[in-house]
Amino acid sequence: MMRSKSEYLPQRTCIACRQIKEKKALIRLVSTENGVAAIDVFGKKPGRGAYLCPKKTCWELALRKNRLDYALRIKLHDDNRQTLLEYSHNLLEES
Ligand SMILES: [Zn+2]
């Protein structure tokens, strides 16, 4: 894909470490209608979204300190939290 220097690159803030990064460098999570937080692989799902670095430390912080709950305005179920923590185990410790 061709990109010109003047093209606007959308940026988002990681809800855990608060670093501003290019949107495509972050993982989007979205709250579904039944109050479940899901990973939005393509970043296109409708609904309230939150962004996290692809880093284990950010995910653990967001999940353990209820930052994700707050950002998505939901109350995470324990199994939902567990699923996301398991996903984060595949991520790098630091990026
Ligand atoms: Zn982060």
Question: Considering the domain boundaries, does residue 72 fall inside one?
Answer: yes
Residue 62 resides in a domain: yes
Which pLDDT does position 33 carry in this prediction?
83
Please give the model's pTM, rounded to 2 decimal places: 0.86
Angstrom distances, CA of residue 29 to CA of 26, 52, 69: 10, 8, 11
Rounded to the nearest angstrom, the distance between the alpha carbon of 66 and the centre of ligand 1 is: 14
User: Is position 2 within any domain?
Assistant: no
Q: Is residue 22 part of a domain?
A: yes
Within the chain, which residues score under 70 in pLDDT? 1-6, 95
Q: What is the distance in A from the centroid of ligand 1 to the CA of 62? A: 9
Looking at the 3D structure of the chain, how many domains does it have?
A: 1
pLDDT in tens, 23-33: 999 999 999 98
Find the 39 Cα to ligand 1 centroid distance in Å.
15
Give residue 83's domain range. 11-88
CATH number for the domain that contains residue 83: 3.30.1230.10
CA of 91 to the centre of ligand 1 (A): 12
Expressed in angstroms and rounded, the spacing between residue 4 Cα and the centre of ligand 1 is 27
CA of 52 to the centre of ligand 1 (A): 5
User: Is there a domain that residue 94 lies in?
Assistant: no
1 in a domain, yes or no?
no
Question: CA–CA distance from 85 to each of 7, 9, 45, 74, 80 (Å)?
Answer: 35, 29, 21, 17, 9
